[in-house]
């Protein structure tokens, strides 16, 4: 076969952009003035100082009281003075790198850097071939393979809940699958300190380290959703503390639904989001000064027709941009999300997801959560949506790339050579760079209507089916030292025998 | 019926945001440095000076030669010195307002201001009920009604070619339908000076003015697509000149497909786009100093699999942002587009359209072309796409709105009143502002999967069908003075009798 023939054949393969640490060249956008940022900061401090936060965890209560907070022991209400918060803001780590077992897949989450993670948390999954179903460990393993296969997904999420595994040992089996089938940054649920300890031990084993060594540089992340307004429940509070203790980053994301869990104003929603983040980071800094944290922006408004959060709609995008302004006020990394409300990957899904991803990019987000696979407002993982989101992520990645402006790329000589009325299809540069000069989509098509109809008239979701099918076929497990694999298996067996760990 | 009952019933109606001149609060994004902007400017001047532009219109040749350009009369090649261009850049109007027959629908297209226009140019149209078809005057009239009905569409495009009307009189019938059925800014094709004169006369009649009066302040717009590389054909050249003569704005948009009509580099594509815009605006300024112009950004790359322009893909979005930097260099209004390649309104369509609209917004565009209805890379108008795009436009409009940060909106008292663990569904503010506090979608849904399935499991495109159907039912013709209507009819009759005007 000729080189040209091979090239043609390869063009049927899945076209991915290579793995790359992303860097956002845009100055972060502003929707409010710096004075207004300060007003939100001050309002948040006032809420913490005068309204307070309810938290039922004695260890947290005593740590905060010792630092100067006022505790009402009978109700668990903690009023937090601004001096305690301001001190905590001095120690929170501004820079954050997370290193998984494959150090080539390290991600930076600070300054202009950006990384993406797969969808996290759905109880169900679906695809156009096998339909909608409750998640199993087999589904989980498949979605791990897609996470590993697609370069646009840079970190793990928790793409479906493997509900066929008993709850006390589910975290062990899921973590093993994640650490074996992927070598990207793993995720741990903050469901109890014991579960965090189990998974952190496994992440340390996967990096060939002790937990003590692992605690010295981040290798896993977790998320805390506070119970807005102003309640820190037991699993979340103990989760923050346990993650801080082992030096691992926590994403602080209050559950903001403006008009439901917060006042029906964007500013009021941001005040509560910000106040609860400040409370969480203060607690973490008291446990371990310097503990890495990420500022969560998942500010949605309620859809007043259903009471549900309006994921992917424009109030959320405004909330993301303002949250970016707050995160920069605190010199903290920003989390945004590829959110959408749609039940299927249709026009609304594409619009909501794209608007969310662009808003995150404009906001200067460092971490894009739920970047691939989110459907049904987060209640279902979609296989086709996973692929379609990878196209969206690749589009964003391409948009972020530097533009070469040089004598070579300005191409005055080439323009003179071709001259008025000519064309550039045959120019040497076009021939040489046909595969690489511009973005090459996986899903988007420029076929005209006739050719497209003759080829079956498939919409984007239908065209995504063979892509996830091929990705599962082409998937290659990342190398894993057999001794590490054995250690992970032994740990899972031992902890299972001990009964695993319950939810809190 | 109680007030509450009425409110509920009204919630079945089409939820539109009101008509509003849009104002973009974001600082325009940059992808290249100011030095690189200057390098592109210099390269463009060098191309005009040393390579030149071919233009076969004697009047244009002599105007440019008189201003100092070097003309090769045998080939029509014009080499344009930088001093001629720099002089023209001094006179081009920085501010632009276009006033249609209803002065309430005036649009500002400069500085932070932004307006949208319906799709322009498709030969065909389609909807899910009646299928795909060649455009007729009936389709054209329906799409005029949608243009008038939806507040998110602020200016006319030319949403389908009414091919059942004979070519010489088509412009007369289309312009009459546009001026009767809508009172938004009209559009005229630059297909020949006679056609421009006909339509401008009708636009003047609709404003109750003479052509002389009409020429004093803009009331219609046109678009010039040059034949890249470096050819200005007869209809386009004479179009620029005729529009300048009557003081109406021209959108200068070279037909840039990087790798096909330009070198296969983004910088090279921008050089040709910029050089051709500079040529066109120089010609217009020589005809009438101060003639209003718009800087066109429709820089696409070729899809090397098909040779077609990759509308809506990320190289285009990068081109839009850089074009914004160039337009600001010249203090000119920027045109961007809601572009997409998809043949149907699916996920890819939503993603491509949203990415384009967001890129335009980031670029600080003043004029969003093809804002509603564009399908099949511009070869077909879609009724459902029109509605779906209005949702996208409304999302953008909502994102651009000012955020209130005040003692009232920060809501500290309300947060204190509800307290930790409460909810805000029943707070007075929530009850009072339930309809207005947050974005209310036309199409996007937050229904959960079960409720959505029970309601028929319709995707966004299917849900758009009853919306355009209802819009056509609810459409009300904007008031038109009977004397003006009569004058328009008389003009159409007279010019038709005279044989109309051929294409050039």
Q: What is the pLDDT of residues B293-323, one digit of tens each?
A: 999 999 999 987 778 899 999 999 999 999 9
Using a CB-CB distance cutoff of 8 angstroms, which residues of chain B are in contact with residue A230?
A: 415, 419-421
If you measure CA to CA, which chain A residue comes closest to B38? A405
Q: Which contiguous run of DSSP H or E holds residue A277?
A: helix A266-287
| B79-85, long-range: CB < 8 A, 24+ apart | B79/B48, B79/B49, B79/B50, B79/B51, B79/B52, B80/B48, B80/B49, B80/B52, B80/B53, B80/B278, B80/B279, B80/B282, B81/B49, B82/B45, B82/B48, B82/B49, B84/B282, B85/B45, B85/B48, B85/B278, B85/B279, B85/B282
If you measure CA to CA, which chain B residue comes closest to A312? B444
Chain A interface test: which of B254, B433, B438 (most A C-beta within 10 Å): B438
Percent of chain B at pLDDT > 90 equals 93
pLDDT, greater one: B387 or A8: B387
Q: Does A329 touch chain B (CB under 8 A)?
A: no
Q: Does B426 touch chain A (CB under 8 A)?
A: no
Query: Which 239-278 residues of chain A touch chain B by CB within 8 A?
Result: 258-268, 271-272
Q: Which of A267, A425, A427 sits opposite B404 (nearest CB)?
A: A267
Q: Does A28 touch chain B (CB under 8 A)?
A: no
Q: Which of A195-204, B3-12, B59-68 has the lowest mean pLDDT?
A: B3-12
Chain B interface test: which of A320, A351, A384, A411 (most B C-beta within 10 Å): A351
- What is the C-alpha to C-alpha distance for residues A143 and A156, in angstroms, rounded to an integer? 10
* B345 closest CA partner among B305, B386, B393, B379: B386
Using a CB-CB distance cutoff of 8 angstroms, which residues of chain B are in contact with residue A228?
A: none
pLDDT at B145: 98
pLDDT at B2: 36
Q: Does A141 touch chain B (CB under 8 A)?
A: no
- What is the C-alpha to C-alpha distance for residues A471 and A151, in angstroms, rounded to an integer? 12
If you measure CA to CA, which chain A residue comes closest to B357? A355
Q: Which of A399, A405, A410 sits opposite B317 (nearest CB)?
A: A399
Question: What's the gap in Å between the CA of B118 and the closest CA on chain A?
Answer: 18
Using a CB-CB distance cutoff of 8 angstroms, which residues of chain A are in contact with residue B46?
A: 412
Backbone angles phi, psi at A250, to 5 degrees: -115, 135
pLDDT of B13 > 90? The answer is no
Instruction: Let me know the angle formed at the C-alpha of B385 by B447 and A361, rounded to the nearest 5 degrees.
Output: 70
Q: What is the pLDDT of residues B399-457, one digit of tens each?
A: 999 999 999 999 999 999 999 999 999 999 999 998 889 999 999 999 999 999 999 99
Both tokens of A277, joined, read 């983040």
Cβ contacts below 8 Å, chain A against chain B, sum to: 456
If you measure CA to CA, which chain B residue comes closest to A304? B434
Query: For residue B415, what are the contacts with CB-CB under 8 A and spacing of at least 6?
Result: A47, A51, A229, A230, A262, A263, A268, A271, A272
Ramachandran class of B312: left when φ > 0, alpha when ψ lies in -120 to 50, beta otherwise: left
pLDDT at B307: 81
- What is the C-alpha to C-alpha distance for residues A60 and A380, in angstroms, rounded to an integer? 34
- The alpha carbon dihedral of A478, A483, A486, A490 has a sign of negative
Q: Does the distance separating the beta carbons of A352 and B355 come in below 8 Å?
A: no
Edge-to-edge strand order for the sheet containing B374-375?
Answer: B131-134, B124-127, B380-382, B374-375
A228 neighbors A120 (Cβ within 8 angstroms): no
Q: Does A53 touch chain B (CB under 8 A)?
A: yes
- What is the C-alpha to C-alpha distance for residues B297 and B321, in angstroms, rounded to an integer? 9
Q: Does the distance separating the beta carbons of B448 and A304 come in below 8 Å?
A: no
Q: Which of A43, A433, A445 sits opposite B264 (nearest CB)?
A: A433
Chain B interface test: which of A359, A438, A457, A468 (most B C-beta within 10 Å): A438
Q: Does the distance separating the beta carbons of B422 and A264 come in below 8 Å?
A: no
pLDDT at A12: 53
Question: What's the gap in Å between the CA of B89 and the closest CA on chain A?
Answer: 22
Query: Which 468-497 residues of chain A touch chain B by CB within 8 A?
Result: none
Using a CB-CB distance cutoff of 8 angstroms, which residues of chain B are in contact with residue A25?
A: 30-31
Q: Does the distance separating the beta carbons of A416 and B51 come in below 8 Å?
A: yes
Query: For residue B416, what are the contacts with CB-CB under 8 A and spacing of at least 6?
Result: A47, A50, A51
Query: Which 201-240 residues of chain B touch chain A by CB within 8 A?
Result: 227, 229-231
- What is the C-alpha to C-alpha distance for residues B480 and B484, in angstroms, rounded to an integer? 7
DSSP code at position B118:
E
The CA distances from residue B208 to A352, B178, B213, B476, B485, in Å, are 44, 16, 9, 21, 10
Q: Does A399 touch chain B (CB under 8 A)?
A: yes
Q: Does the distance separating the beta carbons of B271 and A415 come in below 8 Å?
A: yes
From first to last of its 504 residues, chain A has per-residue pLDDT tens of 333 333 333 445 788 999 999 999 999 999 999 999 999 999 999 999 999 999 999 999 999 999 999 999 999 999 999 999 999 999 998 899 999 999 999 999 999 999 999 999 999 999 999 999 999 999 999 999 999 999 999 999 999 999 999 999 999 999 999 999 999 999 999 989 999 999 999 999 999 999 999 999 999 999 999 999 999 999 999 999 999 999 999 999 999 999 999 999 999 999 999 999 999 999 999 999 999 999 999 999 998 777 889 999 999 999 999 999 999 999 999 999 999 999 999 999 999 999 999 999 999 999 999 999 999 999 999 999 999 999 999 999 999 999 999 999 999 999 999 999 999 999 999 999 988 899 999 999 999 999 999 999 999 999 999 999 999 999 999 999 999 999 999 999 999 999 999 877
- What is the C-alpha to C-alpha distance for residues B504 and B488, in angstroms, rounded to an integer? 24
Q: Which of A54, A315, A437 sits opposite B420 (nearest CB)?
A: A54
If you measure CA to CA, which chain A residue comes closest to B124? A449
Q: Does A9 touch chain B (CB under 8 A)?
A: no
pLDDT at A94: 84
Instruction: Measure the CA dihedral A314/A320/A322/A323, to 10°.
Output: 150
Q: What is the pLDDT of residues B251-296, one digit of tens each?
A: 999 999 999 999 999 999 999 999 999 999 999 999 999 999 999 9
Q: Does the distance separating the beta carbons of B461 and A347 come in below 8 Å?
A: yes
Q: Does the distance separating the beta carbons of B229 and A421 come in below 8 Å?
A: yes
Q: Does B74 touch chain A (CB under 8 A)?
A: no
Q: Which of B85-89, B106-110, B146-150, B443-447 has the lowest mean pLDDT?
A: B443-447
Q: Does the distance separating the beta carbons of A348 and B391 come in below 8 Å?
A: yes
- What is the C-alpha to C-alpha distance for residues A270 and A263, in angstroms, rounded to an integer? 10
The CA distances from residue B198 to B157, B185, B248, B407, B496, in Å, are 18, 16, 14, 57, 11
**What value does the mean pLDDT of chain B take?**
95
Ramachandran class of B458: left when φ > 0, alpha when ψ lies in -120 to 50, beta otherwise: beta
If you measure CA to CA, which chain A residue comes closest to B52? A420
pTM assigned to the model: 0.96
H helices within B22-126, ranges in order?
34-46, 58-66, 82-91
pLDDT of B237 > 90? The answer is yes
Chain A interface test: which of B264, B391, B449 (most A C-beta within 10 Å): B264
Query: For residue A90, what are the contacts with CB-CB under 8 A and spacing of at least 6?
Result: none
pLDDT at B12: 53
Q: Does the distance separating the beta carbons of B30 and A301 come in below 8 Å?
A: no
Q: Does the distance separating the beta carbons of A415 and B263 come in below 8 Å?
A: yes
* A253 closest CA partner among A203, A320, A198, A188: A320
Domains of chain A with bracketed CATH: 90-400 (3.20.20.480)
Using a CB-CB distance cutoff of 8 angstroms, which residues of chain A are in contact with residue B51?
A: 412, 415-416, 419-420
Q: Please tell me the number of Cα atoms within 13 Å of A412 on its side-chain side.
A: 18
pLDDT at A207: 98
The CA distances from residue B468 to A284, B257, B386, B457, B462, in Å, are 53, 34, 8, 19, 11
- Residue entry with tokens 């972020």: A400
- What is the C-alpha to C-alpha distance for residues B283 and A234, in angstroms, rounded to an integer? 72
């Amino acid at each position: 076969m000729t080189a040209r023939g091979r090239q043609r054949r390869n063009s049927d393969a899945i076209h991915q952009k290579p793995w790359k640490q992303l860097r956002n060249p845009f100055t972060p956008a502003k929707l409010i003035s710096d004075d207004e940022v300060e007003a939100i900061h001050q309002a948040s401090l006032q809420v913490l100082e005068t309204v307070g936060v309810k938290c039922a965890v004695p260890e947290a209560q005593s740590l905060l009281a010792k630092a100067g907070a006022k505790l009402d022991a009978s109700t668990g209400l903690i009023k937090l003075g601004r001096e305690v918060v301001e001190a905590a803001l001095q120690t929170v780590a501004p820079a954050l790198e997370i290193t998984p077992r494959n150090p080539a897949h390290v991600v930076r989450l600070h300054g202009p850097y950006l990384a993406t993670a797969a969808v996290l948390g759905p109880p169900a999954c679906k695809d156009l071939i096998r339909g909608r179903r409750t998640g199993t460990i087999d589904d989980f393993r498949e979605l791990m393979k897609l996470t590993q296969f697609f370069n646009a997904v840079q970190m793990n999420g928790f793409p479906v809940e493997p509900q066929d595994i008993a709850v006390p040992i589910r975290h062990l089996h899921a973590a093993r699958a994640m650490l074996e089938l992927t070598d990207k940054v793993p995720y741990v649920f903050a469901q109890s300190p014991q579960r965090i300890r189990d998974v952190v031990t496994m992440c340390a084993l996967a990096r060939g380290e002790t937990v003590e060594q692992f605690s010295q540089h981040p290798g896993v992340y977790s998320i805390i959703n506070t119970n807005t307004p102003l309640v820190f429940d037991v699993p979340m509070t103990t989760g923050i503390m346990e993650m801080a203790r082992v030096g691992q980053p926590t994403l602080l994301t209050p559950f903001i639904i403006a008009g439901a869990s917060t006042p029906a104003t964007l500013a009021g929603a941001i005040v509560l989001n910000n106040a609860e983040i400040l409370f969480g980071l203060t607690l973490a800094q008291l446990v371990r000064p310097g503990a890495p944290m990420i500022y969560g922006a998942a500010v949605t408004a309620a859809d007043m027709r259903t009471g549900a959060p309006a994921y992917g709609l424009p109030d959320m995008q405004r909330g993301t941009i303002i949250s970016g302004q707050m995160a920069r006020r605190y010199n903290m990394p920003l989390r945004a999300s590829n959110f959408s409300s749609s039940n299927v990957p249709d026009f609304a899904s594409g619009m909501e997801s794209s608007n969310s991803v662009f808003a995150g990019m404009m906001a200067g987000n460092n971490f894009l959560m739920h970047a691939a696979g989110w459907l049904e407002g987060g209640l279902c993982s979609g296989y086709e949506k996973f692929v379609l989101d990878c196209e969206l992520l690749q589009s964003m990645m391409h948009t972020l790339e530097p533009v070469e402006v040089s004598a070579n790329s300005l191409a005055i000589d080439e323009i003179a050579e071709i001259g008025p009325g000519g064309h550039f299809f045959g120019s040497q540069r076009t021939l040489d760079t046909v595969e690489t000069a511009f973005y090459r989509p996986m899903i988007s098509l420029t076929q005209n209507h006739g050719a497209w109809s003759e080829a079956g008239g498939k919409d984007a979701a239908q065209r995504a089916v063979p892509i996830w099918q091929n990705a599962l076929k082409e998937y290659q497990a990342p190398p894993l030292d057999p001794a590490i694999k054995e250690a992970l298996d032994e740990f899972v067996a031992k902890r299972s025998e001990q009964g695993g760990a319950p939810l809190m």
